[in-house]
Structure 1
Amino acid sequence: MKEITVENLVRKFSLKVLAGESQLQKKITQPRVHRPGLEFVGHFDFFPTERVQILGKKEITYLHKLSKEERKIRIGNIVLYHPPCFIVTAGEEGLTYLMHHCTEQGIPLLVTSKPEITSEFITQLDTYLIKELAPEMAVHGVCMNVSGIGILLRGNSGVGKSETAHTLIRRGHRLVSDDMVVLKKLSPQTILGTHDGKTKEFLALRSIGLLNVVRIYGRKAFQDETRITLDIHLTKWEKDALYNDLEQEIHYTDYMGVKIPSIEIQLQPGRDVAGLIEAAANNWYLKQQGYSAAEEFMSRIEADIMKSGME
């Protein structure tokens, strides 16, 4: 199971530590946060104790209005479950009582650098946690964003993946990662492709060496991540291995339980592989909009046959 520390959140979101500074190495393993509500009135049956707890203006206002004794009971019951940390988005004024409870139980109490709209902060934090804690795997290949479509290029070493990527970059598309692609499972339907940090912006070309695509082609040549939509396998040319059907049968590659549409493109001197990848990306997009060139072609044939039969 992947994990990060409370200290990671402090650094990422510039949070101020009000209590529990010695406990910033506490582990966070759950990708979503929780905003306690029912817990303040004593219902703990479904309390997600392993999640980061967010206290916004609504929760803090409620706590401020309680009597000192009532507040001690309400907060005391929650801190006994020892969540990873509390984050207050409504400012730090009047939080002495909360600091006392968190210090006593060794729970980090954090506050945003300025009052935030709680729902917006939760969205940002959830997005960060989902990405950081997502199951991941590394695959050999190249990841590109072609016309807004995330593509994973795979194939044997030396088949021409990086050279094809270079041609795509020159045509205005974006590199995400070369050689080693990190795949993250964000949901049962979503795989994110990114780099491992070390290879960021670099493209290795045989006979040329290592290129920094941003230095050569500008910021438009690179992006940090992309949702993987197509898995394209580059292979060496085999005569009569491919058929010129009107519409190819859809195959899939499974990555951590997520099935990604997969196609094979064979390489041959003079074949515009980059152009074929662009065509595959654009064709996939049209299919998502409900359009099929094969279906339109067949409808024209049928209409022509019907017209001929009426004459």
Structure 2
Amino acid sequence: MKLLTIENLVRKFSLKVLTGENQLQQTITQSRSHRPGLEFVGHFDFFPTERVQILGRKEITYLHKLSIEERQIRIGNIVKYHPPCFIVTAGQEGLTYLTQYCVEEGIPLLCTNEPQTTSEFITKLDAYMIKTLAPEIAIHGVCVNVYGMGILLRGKSGVGKSETAHTLIGRGHRLVADDIVVLKKLSPRTILGTHDGKTKEFLALRSVGLLNVVRLYGRKAFQDETRIALDIELTKWQKNSLNNELEHEPTFTEYMDVQIPHIEIQLQPGRDVAGLIEAAANNWLLKQQGYSAAEEFMKRLESDSSW
């Protein structure tokens, strides 16, 4: 998990700093923001004080309608909890009273510059904070996006992961990361795959060297991140170890307590590994839609035997 500061938010979203220029290095620990509503009317039982507080048109309009004395009470009740910062959206004006309280309490007060609704800004802000603060690990492997699905290619060094990724790129798919894949846990069921920044756009091929896939094949050959759907392990060919069962028992690889469907593909000269990966990706998608080729085949057999 990376360190997230208020200054990171200022730079990412081009926020204007109204107060608290000296407090921008304060860290943010919560991955979601909060719009104080009940807190303005005195209910603080579940007030998430460690979250970034968002003040949109509804909140600011409510404060404008209060008397000076009542407004001081409402704002004072919130700022005394010292949230990381306040962000005012939707181009609100007349914030002199809010600025005064934030200066007195040393709380950064920021405002958006882009013309967007509060809901739109919160969606972008929360998505950024969730990704930045997500637990993460780095694994050895390759990450590609095939038919819109994130796939991890793992295996021993030299087994052919990068070469397989190169073949997939030639078929119109995208590279996400080579050698070092960073996995981020966005939710109890979601793992995001990305690069570590240093290897971005690079693919290392034995006997050829380091390639920049964007320079060679265009922007369409690279994708910055992808949700991981399949974990595919490439292994050396072992005679008599494969079988022709109609449907294999599902197996999973666990990353940060999230289970990812696992498939093993054995390598042999002349075997179309990239084609098998494409087939696995499409088959996984069909299963998500409730279709099983094995089940349909068995139904056909049962139907024929009934005659």
Distance of 1:36 and 1:60 partners within structure 2: 11
1:8-23, aligned counterparts within 5 Å?
8-23=8-23
Distance of 2:193 and 2:255 partners within structure 1: 11
Distance of 1:159 and 1:223 partners within structure 2: 23
RMSD across aligned positions (CA): 0.9
Number of the residue aligned with 1:95: 95
Task: Give the aligned length.
Answer: 307
Distance of 2:212 and 2:200 partners within structure 1: 9
Which letter does structure 2 place at the counterpart of 1:52? V
Find out whether 1:83 has 2:104 as its counterpart.
Answer: no
1:212-251, aligned counterparts within 5 Å?
212-251=212-251
Find out whether 1:153 has 2:153 as its counterpart.
Answer: yes
Which letter does structure 2 place at the counterpart of 1:87? I
**Structure 1 unaligned runs (5+)?**
none
Distance of 2:2 and 2:170 partners within structure 1: 37
Number of the residue aligned with 1:282: 282
Distance of 1:209 and 1:281 partners within structure 2: 28
Residue 265 of structure 2 aligns to a residue whose secondary structure is strand
Distance of 1:135 and 1:87 partners within structure 2: 25
Task: Give the C-alpha shift of residue 92 in structure 1.
Answer: 4.5
Distance of 1:94 and 1:113 partners within structure 2: 16
Number of the residue aligned with 2:165: 165
Number of the residue aligned with 2:55: 55
1:21-60, aligned counterparts within 5 Å?
21-60=21-60
Structure 1 residues 218, 80: CA separation in 2 closer, same or farther (over 3 Å shift)? same
Number of the residue aligned with 2:106: 106
TM-score, normalised via structure 2 length: 0.98
Task: Give the C-alpha shift of residue 102 in structure 1.
Answer: 0.4
CA contact (8 A) 2:57 2:92 kept: no
Distance of 2:291 and 2:172 partners within structure 1: 25
Distance of 1:2 and 1:76 partners within structure 2: 32
Task: Give the C-alpha shift of residue 248 in structure 1.
Answer: 1.1
Could you list the per-position Cα deviations for residues 149-176 of structure 1 after superposition, in whole angstroms to 9, with x for gaps in the alignment?
1100000000000000000000110000
CA contact (8 A) 1:36 1:55 kept: yes
> Where in structure 1 do 4 or more consecutive aligned residues deviate above 4 Å?
none
Residue 306 of structure 2 aligns to a residue whose secondary structure is helix
Task: Give the C-alpha shift of residue 194 in structure 1.
Answer: 0.4
Which letter does structure 1 place at the counterpart of 2:242? L
Which letter does structure 2 place at the counterpart of 1:119? S
Identity of aligned residues (%): 80
Number of the residue aligned with 1:139: 139
Number of the residue aligned with 1:185: 185
Could you list the per-position Cα deviations for residues 123-147 of structure 1 after superposition, in whole angstroms to 9, with x for gaps in the alignment?
1111111101100000000000011
CA contact (8 A) 1:151 1:229 kept: yes
Which letter does structure 1 place at the counterpart of 2:77? N
CA contact (8 A) 1:2 1:29 kept: no
Distance of 1:203 and 1:114 partners within structure 2: 37
Which letter does structure 2 place at the counterpart of 1:103? V
Distance of 1:90 and 1:71 partners within structure 2: 20
Residue 277 of structure 1 aligns to a residue whose secondary structure is helix
Distance of 2:64 and 2:268 partners within structure 1: 72
Distance of 2:137 and 2:14 partners within structure 1: 29
Task: Give the C-alpha shift of residue 90 in structure 1.
Answer: 3.0
Find out whether 1:262 has 2:240 as its counterpart.
Answer: no
Distance of 1:68 and 1:303 partners within structure 2: 80
Could you list the per-position Cα deviations for residues 235-292 of structure 1 after superposition, in whole angstroms to 9, with x for gaps in the alignment?
0111111211111111000000100000100011111111110110011111111111
Distance of 1:84 and 1:75 partners within structure 2: 15
Distance of 2:213 and 2:250 partners within structure 1: 33
CA contact (8 A) 2:176 2:201 kept: yes
Distance of 1:92 and 1:227 partners within structure 2: 37
Task: Give the C-alpha shift of residue 115 in structure 1.
Answer: 4.6
Distance of 2:149 and 2:72 partners within structure 1: 53
Residue 125 of structure 1 aligns to a residue whose secondary structure is helix
Task: Give the C-alpha shift of residue 93 in structure 1.
Answer: 1.7
TM-score, normalised via structure 1 length: 0.97
Which letter does structure 2 place at the counterpart of 1:222? F
Residue 249 of structure 1 aligns to a residue whose secondary structure is coil
Number of the residue aligned with 1:301: 301
Which letter does structure 2 place at the counterpart of 1:186? L
Distance of 1:2 and 1:217 partners within structure 2: 32
Distance of 2:69 and 2:9 partners within structure 1: 32
